[in-house]
Structure 1
Amino acid sequence: MKVIDFKDARCRHCYKCVRNCEVKAILVRNEQAHIMEDNCIHCGHCLEVCPQNAKTFASDMERVKGYLGQGKRVIISIAPSYLGVLEYEKPGQVVSALKKLGFYEVRETAEGAALVTREYRKLLAEGRMKNIITTCCPSVNDLVEKYYPSLTPLLAPVVSPMVAHGRLIKSIYGEDVKVVFLGPCIAKKEEAIGDKRVRGAIDAILTFEEIVKWWKEEGIDLCRCEEEPMGNPSPKVNQLYPVSGGVITSVLAAVPEENYYKVHIDGLKACMELFEELEKGEIEHCFFEVNVCEGGCIKGPASDKWQQSLIKAKKGIEEQVKHREEADEIVQNGVEMYKEFTDRHVREQEPTKEQMEEVLHAMGKYTAADELNCGACGYPTCRAKATAIFQNKAEVSMCLPYALAQAESMSNIVMDVTPSMILIVDKEMRIRECNKKAQEMLGVSREEALERYIFEFVEEKDIADVLDKKEPIIHRKLKLESMNLTVVESIIYIENLESALVTYQDITKEEKAKEQRLNLKMETVDMAQKVIDKQMMIAQEIAGLLGETTAETKVTLTKLRNSMLTAEED
C-alpha cells in the first residue's frame, strides 16, 4: 500500500511535483504522475505544491474508529508540534477534545523524545562516531539509506521519538493497547507501517489535518473544551523537538557537551548539500540535527493547510515550553532504543552514449545548443530528463520546448499548406498575421504585410462590420476587384484579441470554369433551337408539297370517275 500518491485524471501537464521533488521519485506515465515507492522519502512536499489538489493519502481514520468501536484501549501519542499548530486557549483542551472522541489516554511524544535525548548524549560522551546525524526524521533516514548509503554509519543508531514512545506506552499499559500517533508528518506512517525494523510500536497514524476534520464532524469546539492534564510526566525541554534546533537544545540541557560541534540543518536541499559534503570525508566531530521540513516538524506537510506562519508556530511552542531542563521523571522502562540503518540504495540502469543520443534525438535535441536545460519538465538538465525517459520514468512530451516546437510546427504546416488566404486583422484594420497564401496573393512578404492595413489591399467594409457587430460572416461570395479575384469570404470575430480572422478562398478558376460551362450550355441551346426551327421549316415545306400533290390527285381521280360514269351511260 502506498502512503501517498496522485489521483488519476487530475494531473494537468504542469509537472510541478516533478520540479519540486529533489530526489525525482515521481514517475509520469500517460501524462499521469505516480510516486515511486522505492525511490520516495515520503517528505510530502510534492503533495503540498500540487496545484490541482491531486494528492491521495492512505488514511488510518477508519482503522482508528474501528479500534474505538471495538472498545479497545486506544492511546494517543501527540507530537509536541501541536503547541504551535492547533488553535486552542489552553493546552489541556486538546486532551479533553481527544478524549471526547473516545481515546483512553493522551500522552506527549516528547516523552519518547526524552529517551532519545539520553541516547544521543551517550553517543556524544562516547565520542566513537566520526560524525553523528540525528535519526528523528524518517525522511532524513530514507534520504541517507536510499541516496547517500555511504553515510549510514553516521546515522545515530537510535529509534525515533515516535517509535520510542509507542514502545514505552505498551510497556506501561500492556501489549494489547493500541497506540495512535498524532502529528504533522506523512513520513511517520511509512516508518510505523512500512519499516519492519520498528513495526509494532505504533498501530495507526493520524494527522493534525484529519483530527481537526474529525472534531468538526463531531461538533467538538476545541476552544470550549475543559482542560485535562496529559497522562505523562512533563517532558520539559524535549517539547522543543519540533522546532529547528530543538534536539540540540534538549541534548545540551543537562551538561554541555564539548566533543562535537553542533549544528542544525533543515530543508531538503540543505540536507542534501550537507550529505554531499560529508561524502567527501572532510568534516569530522560534528553533531548534525537534520530535518527535511524547513523550520522543523512544525512545518510538516500535514499541518501546513491551516498553519501558514512558521514564526507564529515557532513562537507558540517556545513560549509555552517554560521548563528547559532535563526530563528526569521519565523512566525508560526497558524500552529498546537501538536501530540499525542499512544501504537501501535504488540502483537503476544508466543509458549508454548511443542510447542517450537516441533519446535526445527523440526530444529534438541534436546539438549542444538544442539542450536548453530550462527545467520546465522538472529535471535540471535535458540529459537528466533523457535518462529518466530511458528509465521509463518520464515522457518525451514533458519537454516544453519540444512540445511548443511540435505545436508550432503543426500549426505552421496547417497555415502554410492551406490554399486559402488567411489573415488576422485588428480593430484598427492593421494586419496582425497572415499565411503564405496571403503573402502570395497580396504580393508582399510577411514582414511588410504586418506593417500595413487591410484596406490597402481589399475593400474592408465586411471586416469592419464584423469587428463592430461581432457577428460572423460565413461563406459569402464576392469579387476582389483590386486583385481581379473571385473569392468565398469568411470573417470571424476573435474576442480575446479584439481582432477578426479573415479567410478568402480563391474560387476564380472555379468561377471561370462555371462561366465556361454556362456559355457552352447556352451555345448548345442556341444550336438546338436552330435545328428545331429548321426542322419545322422543312416539315412545313413537306406538308405544303404533300397538300398540292393530294389536290391534283383528287382532281385527276374525280375526272377519271366522272368519265367512267359517262361512258357507262352511253
Structure 2
Amino acid sequence: MAIIDFKATKCKHCYKCVRNCEVKAIMIKDERAEIMPDKCILCGKCMQVCPQSAKTLVSDLNTVKGYIANHIPTVVSIAPSYMGLLKYKTIGQINAALRKLGFTDVRETSEGAAMVTAEYARLLEEGEMETIITTCCPSVNDLIEIYYPQLVPYMAPVVSPMIAHGKMLKEELGSNVKVVFLGPCIAKKKEAGDDRHDSCIDAVLNFNDINRWLNEEEITIEDCEDIPFRHLDPKVNRLYPVTNGVVNSVLATEEKKDGYRKFYVHGARNCIDLCESMVRGEIKGCFIEMNMCSGGCIKGPTVEDESISRFKVKLDMEETIEKDPAKKSEVEEIVNKISFNKIFMDRSPREPMPTEAQIQEILKKTGKTKPEDELNCGACGYSTCREKAIAVFQKKAELGMCIPFMHEKAESLSNLVMETSPNIVLIVDKDMKVLEYSAVGEKYFGKTRQEALNMYLYEFIDPSDFQWVYDSHQNIHGKKVTYSEYNFSMLQNIVYIEKEDVVLATFIDITKEEELAKQEYEKKLETIDLAQRVIHKQMMVAQEIAGLLGETTAETKTTLTKLCRSLLDEGSESEVK
C-alpha cells in the first residue's frame, strides 16, 4: 500500500521533488513525478517541498477510529517527541487526553527505547562488531539496505524502539490488542508493515492526526486531568528523539568503559556522506547514532508547525529529562523474555547500466555533442548531465527534463516561426506597445522587426480592433480588413492572452484573393448585364410577334364571319324556293 499519496493532476513537472530527493527515488513519467517504492527511504522531503501539495501522507486515522468504535482494545505507544510537539502543563494530561479519545491505555515508546539501549550496551560490552550503526531510524536503515548494502554488517541487529515497544505490549496485553504508534515519522508506517516484525504495530498516526482528532472531539490537553504514567519509567531514554539522545542513553546505561568512539550524524546529506566515507574504509571502531531528519525526530517530516524550534526543544528536553538509566532489573526481565533481534539484508535494486555509447546517444538527443555542452546545472534534479542520461536509460527520467535544452528548443522554434511564417504575427501590450513582430511584416508595413519593436501599433496601423479585444477580453476571428494606405487586404485573428496580459494577432494576406474575387464579381456583373439585355430583346421580339399574331387573328375572324354569314344567307334562299 502506498504511504505517500500522489495526485498526478496537481504535478506541474517542476522537478523540485527530484532535485530535493537525495537518493533519486522519484521517476518522471509522462512529465509527472512518481515515487518508486523499492528505492524510496521515506524521508518525506518530497512531500515537504512540493509547491503544489501533489504529495500527501496516507492516514491511518479512520482505521484507528474503527478499532475504537468496534470496542477493540487499542493501546497507543506515544513517541517521546510528544514532549516538544504537544502543548500540556503536566505529562499526565497527555495520558488523560488520549484516553478520552477511547484508547484503552497510553504508553510511552521510550519503554521500548530502554530495551534497545540495553541491547546496544550489550553489543558495546561484547565488542565483537568493528563498528556499530544504531538502527532506530527506519529511513537510515532503508538507506543502508538499499544504497549501501556493504555496510549492513555494521548495523546493530536490534529493532527500533517502536518495534520493541510493540513486542512488549503484545506480550503483556495479548495479541488481540491493537497497538497504535503515535509519532512525527513517515517511515514508521513502512517499518510497521515489515514482515520481519510479526505485525506488532497495527497502525501509525502522526501528531497532525491526533491534533485533528482532539479538535474534532473538542478536547484540550491543557484542560485535562493529570493521570501519571504508571509503567516502566524510561528516564534518560526519553532523549531518543533529539540529536545525541541515543548516545547519551547508552552512556548513562553502560557499566564499564568500552573501546568505541561515539558520535552522531543527522540530516540526509550528512548520513549519505558518512556512508560514503565508511564505504571507503575511513571510519572504524565507532558507535554511530544516525538520524535522517536534521535535528532528530523532534522535527520529523510531519511536523508542520513552524513555531516549533528544534533547538529550544532539545535544550528543554535535555534540561528536564532525568539522565538516569531505566531500572535495570525491570529491563533485564523483559529482555530475557522477548527477542529484540533484527536481521538486516541487502535490498539494493539491480538496475541496468548503459554503455558509454548509449550515454553519448542520449546526451546527443539533448544537444550535448561535446563535453562543454554538458552544463551540469542540476535543474532537472540530477547533479550531472551524465547522471540524468543514465536515469533516462533506466526510464526514471525523460529527455524533456533538460530545461536549458528545452528553452533553446522553444526559443529556436519561436524564432523559426517569427522568421519564416508567411503570415504577420503581432503581439502588443495594454499600451499598444509592439512586443513581437514577425519578419514578414517589413514586406507589408515597411518596418523592420527592430524598428517595429520600438514603436506603438497606432504609429503604422489603426489599433482600434486590438484595443477592443484588450478591453473586452473577447476575440476577433476571420475579420477582413483592407489597409488602403498599404494597398493590401488582410484576414485578421486577434486574441487576448490572459496569462501574459497581451493581445496577439495574426494577419493573413488575402489581397490576391480579394482581387480575384473582385474580378469575378465584375465578370458576374457583366454577365448579368448581358443577360438583362438579351431578356429585354426577347421581350421586344415577343411583343412584336404578339402584335402580328393579333392582327392576323382579327383578319381571320372577319373573313370567317363573313363566310359564315354568306353560307347562312344561301341556306335561307333555298328554303323559300
Equivalent residue, structure 1, for 2:572: none
Matching residue of 2:511: 508
**Alignment match, 1:224:** 223
Q: Which residue of 2 aligns with 1:40?
A: 40
Q: 1:353 aligned to 349, 352, 356, which one?
A: 356
Flag the 1:71–1:455 CA change in 2: closer, same or farther, 3 A.
closer
Counterpart in 1 of 2:573?
A: none
Q: 1:552 to 1:414 in 2, by over 3 A?
A: same
**Code of the aligned partner of 2:357:** E
Task: Trace 1:73-152 onto structure 2 (pairs within 5 A).
Answer: 73-152=73-152
Q: Aligned ranges for residues 509-524 of structure 1 at < 5 Å? A: 509-524=512-527
Assess, with a 3 A threshold, how the Cα gap between structure 1 residues 60 and 453 changes in structure 2: closer, same or farther: closer
Question: 2 CA distance for matches of 1:84 and 1:549?
Answer: 128
- Other structure's SS at 2:185 match: coil
Q: Is the 8 A contact 1:148 1:275 kept in 2?
A: yes
Query: C-alpha separation between the residues in 1 aligned to 2:439 and 2:185?
Result: 59
Return the alpha-carbon distance in structure 2 between the equivalents of residues 430 and 208 of structure 1: 55
1:377 and 1:487 map into 2 onto residues whose CA distance is 44
Between stretches 49-58 and 494-503, larger displacement belongs to 494-503
Aligned residue in 2 for 1:167: 167
State the partner residue of 2:375. Answer: 372
Alpha-carbon distance between aligned partners in 2 of 1:525 and 1:6, rounded to the nearest angstrom: 72
Cα 1:22–1:506 shift into 2, 3 Å: same
Per-residue deviation, residues 130-164 of structure 1 (Å, max 9, x unmatched): 32211111111111111111111221222212222
Query: What letter matches 2:202 in structure 1?
Result: D
Secondary structure of the equivalent of 1:28?
A: strand
> Compared with structure 1, are the counterparts of its residues 535 and 219 closer, same or farther at alpha carbon in structure 2 (3 Å cutoff)?
closer
Query: Who is 1:190 aligned against?
Result: 190
Deviation of 1:187 after TM superposition, in Å, equals 1.4
Length-normalised TM-score, structure 1: 0.85
1:523 partner amino acid? E
Residue 451 of structure 2 is aligned to residue 452 of structure 1: no
Q: Deviations over 1:373-398 (max 9, x none)?
A: 33333222333223222222233343
Moved more, 163-172 or 396-405: 396-405
SS at match of 1:482: coil
CA contact (8 A) 1:26 1:393 kept: yes
Q: For residues 236 and 551 of structure 1, what CA distance do their matches in structure 2 show?
A: 143
Distance 1:201 1:402, change over 3 A: same
Number of residues of Structure 1 aligned to a counterpart in Structure 2: 555
Equivalent positions of 1:294-333 (< 5 A) are 294-304=294-304, 308-321=308-321, 323-329=322-328, 330-333=330-333
C-alpha RMSD over aligned residues: 3.6
CA apart distance, 1:274 = 0.6
Amino acid at match of 1:507: I
How much does 1:229 deviate? 1.0
Q: Is the 8 Å Cα contact of residues 125 and 258 (structure 2) preserved in structure 1?
A: no
Alignment partner of 2:150: what SS? helix
Aligned residues of 1:415 and 1:436 also touching (Cα < 8 A): yes
Unpaired stretches in structure 1, ≥5 consecutive residues: 554-570
Instruction: State the match for 2:212 in structure 1.
Output: 213
Shift in Å at residue 191 of structure 1? 1.7
Question: 1:299-335: CA deviations, max 9, x gaps?
Answer: 11233357643234334433431x1122235423223
Distance in 2 (CA, whole Å) between partners of 1:245 and 1:498 is 55
C-alpha change, 1:551 and 1:400, in structure 2 (3 Å) is: same
Q: Deviations over 1:65-93 (max 9, x none)?
A: 44445544433221100000112222111
The alignment partner of 1:424 has SS state of strand
The aligned amino acid for 1:6 is: F
Aligned equivalents of 1:64 and 1:465: distance in 2?
61
* Contact 2:429-2:503 at 8 Å conserved across structures: yes
> Per the alignment, in what secondary structure is the counterpart of residue 485 of structure 2?
helix
Deviates more, 1:312-321 or 1:524-533: 524-533
CA contact (8 A) 2:114 2:331 kept: no
Mapped partners of 2:541, 2:19: distance in 1? 97
Partner of 1:420: 423
Using the alignment, how far apart are the partners of 2:511 and 2:277 within structure 1? 76
Does structure 1 conserve the Cα–Cα contact (< 8 Å) formed by 2:426 and 2:437?
Answer: yes
Residues 437-448 of structure 1 aligned to structure 2 (within 5 Å): 437-448=440-451
Aligned to 1:556: none
